[in-house]
Amino acid sequence: MISSTNIKSKIQKLLNPLAEAFDAAGITPNILTLLGFFLSMIAGLLIFREMFFVAGIVFLFAGACDMLDGILARAKGRVTIAGAFMDSFFDRYADFFPLAGFSLLAVGRGDFQMVTFGLLSIVGSFATSYAKARAEALGVACKVGLLERPERFILITSSLFLGFTDYMLFILAFFSNFTAFQRFFYVINVLRKRG
């Protein structure tokens, strides 16, 4: 998991000066959250149009916004419960748009195997995020899982630049659902031990 290594913190340190520049320009964390949302939507439309390389660039910027909103909020003491909720809410849409683009492209091609993998990727991504959120609401810290959001982002972005989108959807369909069930069984086990 990327989130359990030093990679994420190193990337955040690299992006700190950019976050400072955005703050100086009057750009708030919520603006970055919304910008990431719209860029993900545009990336999804570009994927549907088979403009994969351009979609990759746009999706990279969307991911940067997703990291910068949290960095800016923490650096400037603007972390709020409302902001955290807003970020998580729009993150689900940002997860959806690229995968929806692949699924709609597959429908247009009549490639129902790819449609199936696209839909499984969507539900697996959502189930992975939901499992963590629901577990935390029940008082269980749920940091397990093979393919979390950062890994999904890297996988999708790499496929857009390198052209292995069909394989990526298969990998994502399998491992995102595998991760969701990893979390399911982990949380069930913890809750059963509690009685």
Catalytic residues: 91
- Residue 67's contacts (CB-CB under 8 Å, 6 or more residues apart) are 11, 12, 15
Of 7, 125, 122, give the one whose Cα is nearest residue 67: 7
Burial (0-12, 13-18, 19+ Cβ within 10 Å), 112: exposed
- Residue 117's contacts (CB-CB under 8 Å, 6 or more residues apart) are 169, 170, 172, 173
3-state secondary structure of 28: coil
